Each structure stands twice: as structure tokens, then as C-alpha cells.
Amino acid sequence: MSGSVIKIAFQGVPGAYSHQACVEVYPNAVALPFNTFEGAIAAVNSGQADLAMLPVENSTYGRVADIHHLLPESGLHIIGEHFVRVHINLMGLPGASLDTMTTAMSHTVLLGQCRKFLKQQNLKPVTGADTAGSAQIVAKNGDKTMGALASELAAEIYGLKVLARHIEDFDNNTTRFLVMSPEKQQAPQSGKELITTFVFRVRNLPAALYKAMGGFATNGINMVKLESYMVDGSFTATQFYADVIGHPDDPAMKRAFEELAFFTSKIEVLGVYEADKPRS
């Protein structure tokens, strides 16, 4: 890694939940914001950053669009995962209060996650480009009747006052992030729970996917994630993204992958890493 201080890239502006993930995992690192996922990935490949923190799925809204297409082609390797409990907070300018506030700005997804609170407080939702960006706008506008919905980190960065904490409708809203590295850092076999993430394409054979998955069932391998998506916009070319519990060198996993190889045209392991504690 470049120098003694780790640099980690994320998509969004300072104060975003991706930024929060960076701070939680690497509190002493320098977090670098980028407008797009592609920009964050490119920063790692060019050496501008050492790592990237990328969201892959949310417990309420499912997978993050496009990220599964980007990961296999990124040239990066998964070295860890981190779950962020998405707490939504209402914030405003110093001196503002719930009594004087009339609008609340945030990303449309976040607005949809705290409808009950907004209705109770009679606050008009205003759609912003993103969460931390909305906090940035509120800080610049100087309007005490406008609030933002974002992380407490965003309030700290932009000098805003938190008026209401943890106002989300669902008390288990969580986003899963992957830590990406340009270098392969496969976790060793150990007593800890390990995740192996891989992508594969099945051969053009009847019931190929069913047969390919059979090896994991018969060998007692727990598959915790399996998703499909089209490749190159083709309705006939499908790639699958999977997470399984275990290490590729485990005897049972080896047998499962041997059977998988018989029914697939491509298998690529994206990473072998320790499971984050919230998973258990």
C-alpha cells in the first residue's frame, strides 16, 4: 500500500454511509470521495487509493444496482466485508428546531425509509441527489426551515445540529459493504467463519444450474447468496454471483467446486475473507 497511511476510496461525498463504513473499518485512514463506483475502482487500480469500500446490498432494498457487473471486471479482490446499520437522522442549521422546520431533504431511498416520522412532524420531503449531499446543501443554504436526512457523520462534517436520531421506519435497515484491494489477500483456513465469493456461467445444458448447485448441497456447503444477471445485454448469457460459507481448500468445498466446474464455462473466485460479526 502507498505510504504508511491507508487511502480508501468510496462513492459519494464526505458524510455518506459509504464514508461511515470507511471510518468504522479504517478509523485512521484517509477516505477519498468519488462521484461514481467506477471512479472509486479506477482510483485503486491507478494507485491513487489503496482500497475501495463498495456497497453491494441493503436489507430493505436489495442489491445495489450495477455493482455486480463491476466487481468481476474491476481487477480488484474482496478482502473483507462490513455491515453498516443505517441510522437516519434529521439535522438542521444551528438554532433550527423541529417546530420551525418545514422540509426535509435526502436521497429518495432514505425519504422512503422514514415516512412515518415525516408525516408525524408534517415535514415535506424534498428529493436530493444523495444523503450527505443534502446535508451539504442545507449547510450552504442557511435556511433554518430546511432539514436534511443523513448520517451523524454528515452532521459533524457540515456543522449541522441533529434534531432527531434514528427516525427510520425499520429498525434493522443494514447495508453490506465489501472492502476491495488490488492485491489478492485470501484469508487462511482457520476456526473463524469465512466467506468465499465467486462468479460463474453455466454451460448450455438442460438443468445445468440445478446440477451445478447440487455439489454444494451434497457436500453440506451453506450458500448464503445466489444472484443472476445478464452479461453484455444478452438474454442468453447469464452470470451468477454467489457467496458460500467456507474456504476453497476445505475438502467439502473442493468437491463442490469440482462438480461446479463440470457444468460451467467460467468460474472466478473474487475473494476469500472473514465474515463480519453482524452476520452471526
DSSP assignment string, 222-250: -EEEEEEEEETTEEEEEEEEEEEES-TTS
pTM above 0.75, yes or no: yes
Three-class secondary structure of residue 31 per DSSP? strand
Q: Which domains does the chain have, with CATH numbers?
A: 7-84+174-181 (3.40.190.10), 89-164 (3.40.190.10), 194-275 (3.30.70.260)
Categorise residue 109: left if φ over 0, alpha if ψ from -120 to 50, beta otherwise. alpha
| 212 C-beta neighbours (distance < 10 Å), count | 23
Cell reading at 2: 502507498
Examine the pLDDT at 110 and tell me if it is beyond 60: yes
What pLDDT score does 229 carry?
A: 79
pLDDT band at residue 95 using 50, 70 and 90 as cut-offs = very high
Q: At what angle do helices 251-262 and 208-218 cross, to 10 degrees?
A: 170
H runs (alpha helix) in the chain:
17-25, 37-46, 67-73, 108-111, 115-120, 131-141, 152-158, 208-218, 251-262
| Residue 235: predicted pLDDT | 62
CB-based contacts of 53, cutoff 8 Å, min separation 6: 8, 9, 10, 18, 21, 22, 25, 40, 82, 177, 178, 179, 180
In the predicted model, is pLDDT for residue 186 greater than 80? yes
At 278, is the pLDDT very low, low, confident or very high (cuts 50, 70, 90)? confident
What residues are annotated to the active site?
175, 177
pLDDT at 181 over 80: yes
Residue type present at position 246: G
Q: Which three cell numbers stand for residue 133?
A: 449531499
Whole-angstrom distance, CA of residue 70 vs CA of residue 76: 10
Count of CB atoms situated within 10 Å of the CB of 20:
27
Length of the chain in residues, anyone?
280
Lowest-confidence pick of 55-64, 104-113, 169-178: 55-64
Percent of all residues in the chain with a pLDDT value above 90, rounded to a whole number? 76
237 band by pLDDT with thresholds 50, 70 and 90: low
What value does the mean pLDDT take over residues 16-26?
A: 97
DSSP H helical ranges for 144-266: 152-158, 208-218, 251-262
Share of the chain above pLDDT 70, in %: 96
